[in-house]
């Protein structure tokens, strides 16, 4: 309360530059490798470690009557396997459950960083991370389709809507091609990225806005600053909801795409 850090408030309307992080290794400063070792990549590595260690530890001594940890791991995998994989893809969806569960856990934990104190930024708020995941899913569903229908068979499967007059097909085929084979990975990546980006921005606006109001001077504005901080807390809870939902949606849509690749018809 004595002297609020003035620099925080001076940065008040936060811009996209708040997403730029300096390299953690000073000697790499300025080199292209600098971007490979930032807070964001560190958080990704920690997230990977957390997921691996969590499942290794919880599945080390599986018992018939599960312990609490084992129950948690089993219910995460069970939800993905039963409510996403088999529900959407059908009985043969079980073979995609490991992939989908991995995607779900990775996206969830990396998203969770956005509200963990001191981390407070999700790597997924940089487009590169969701893009890699989306391209992975893209490769898998195109690969599945080609394996199932053959190259041209899959093109026909993905681009030609049955039961449409032949004269209309030339208008529709380019649309199907763009939306099924080109737009899907882009929307998949952008949806996750934009949600995490906006979430981080909202939290910054309310937190830094509170500081700006507090520092503004007039006593009348101090309650407004408290209100702003209170709303930051509410938005943090909202962010928890959004980040879980986005992890679920990413997995769900991956499963939907797999289903559309291996289905007999549309």
Partner 1 sequence: MADDQPPKRPHAEGADAGWAAIGYLLGGMLVWGGVGWLIDKWLGLPNVGLLIGLIGGAAAGVYLTVKRLDG
Residue whose tokens read 């309650």: 223
Q: Which member of 53, 87, 143, 198 binds partner 1 (CB under 8 A)?
A: 87
In the DSSP assignment, the letter for residue 147 is H
Among positive and negative, which fits the CA dihedral 201, 207, 213, 215?
negative
CA distances from 39 to 78, 118, 190 (A): 32, 11, 22
Give the count of residues interacting with partner 1 (CB under 8 A). 30
Report d(CA 168, CA 96) in Å as an integer: 36
Q: x-or-dash pattern for partner 1, window 20-59, by CB under 8 A?
A: ----------------------------------------
Tokens of 170: 């030339």
Report d(CA 261, CA 146) in Å as an integer: 8
Regarding 94 and contact with partner 1 (CB under 8 A), the answer is: no
Q: x-or-dash pattern for partner 1, window 239-258, by CB under 8 A?
A: ----------x--xx-xx--
Angle at which helix 97-112 crosses helix 39-58, to 10 degrees, equals 130
Q: Which member of 1, 2, 65, 171 binds partner 1 (CB under 8 A)?
A: 171
Report d(CA 22, CA 38) in Å as an integer: 6
Strands (E), the chain: none
Regarding 221 and contact with partner 1 (CB under 8 A), the answer is: no
Nearer to partner 1 among residue 41 and residue 83 (C-beta): 83
Residue 265 C-beta: closest distance to partner 1, Å:
5
Contacts of 161 (CB under 8 A, 6+ apart): 169, 172, 176, 266
Stretch of 51-59, 87-95, 145-153, 200-208 contacting partner 1, by CB under 8 A: 87-95
Tokens of 87: 């529900």
Q: Please give the backbone phi and psi of residue 12, each rounded to the nearest 5 degrees, phi first.
A: -50, -65
Regarding 90 and contact with partner 1 (CB under 8 A), the answer is: yes
Nearer to partner 1 among residue 228 and residue 259 (C-beta): 259
Q: Which member of 132, 178, 234, 237 binds partner 1 (CB under 8 A)?
A: 178
Regarding 183 and contact with partner 1 (CB under 8 A), the answer is: yes
Q: Which member of 62, 78, 174, 223 binds partner 1 (CB under 8 A)?
A: 174
In the DSSP assignment, the letter for residue 217 is -
Residue 260 C-beta: closest distance to partner 1, Å:
8
Regarding 161 and contact with partner 1 (CB under 8 A), the answer is: yes
Binding interface with partner 1 (CB under 8 A):
84, 87-88, 90-91, 161-164, 168, 171-172, 174-176, 178-180, 183-184, 187, 249, 252-253, 255-256, 263-266
């Amino acid at each position: 309360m004595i002297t609020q850090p003035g620099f925080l408030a001076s940065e008040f309307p936060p811009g996209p530059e708040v997403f730029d992080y300096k390299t953690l290794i000073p000697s790499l400063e300025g080199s292209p490798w600098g971007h490979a070792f930032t807070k964001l990549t560190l958080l990704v590595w920690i997230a990977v470690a957390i997921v691996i260690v969590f499942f290794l530890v919880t599945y080390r001594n599986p018992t018939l009557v599960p312990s609490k940890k084992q129950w948690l791991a089993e219910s995460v995998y069970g939800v993905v396997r039963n409510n996403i994989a088999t529900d959407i893809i059908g009985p043969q969806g079980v073979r995609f459950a490991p992939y989908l569960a991995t995607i779900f856990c990775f996206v969830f934990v990396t998203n969770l960083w956005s509200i963990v104190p001191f981390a407070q930024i999700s790597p997924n708020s940089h487009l590169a991370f969701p893009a890699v995941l989306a391209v992975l899913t893209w490769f898998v569903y195109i690969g599945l389709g080609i394996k199932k229908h053959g190259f041209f068979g899959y093109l026909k499967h993905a681009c030609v809507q049955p039961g449409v007059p032949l004269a209309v097909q030339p208008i529709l085929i380019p649309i199907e091609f763009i939306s099924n084979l080109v737009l899907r990975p882009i929307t998949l990546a952008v949806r996750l990225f934009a949600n995490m980006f906006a979430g981080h921005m909202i939290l910054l606006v309310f937190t830094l806005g509170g500081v700006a109001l507090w520092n503004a001077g007039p006593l009348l504005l101090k309650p407004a600053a408290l209100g702003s901080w209170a709303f930051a807390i509410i938005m943090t809870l909202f962010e928890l909801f959004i980040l879980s939902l986005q992890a679920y949606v990413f997995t769900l849509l991956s499963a939907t795409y797999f289903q559309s690749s291996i289905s007999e018809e549309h």
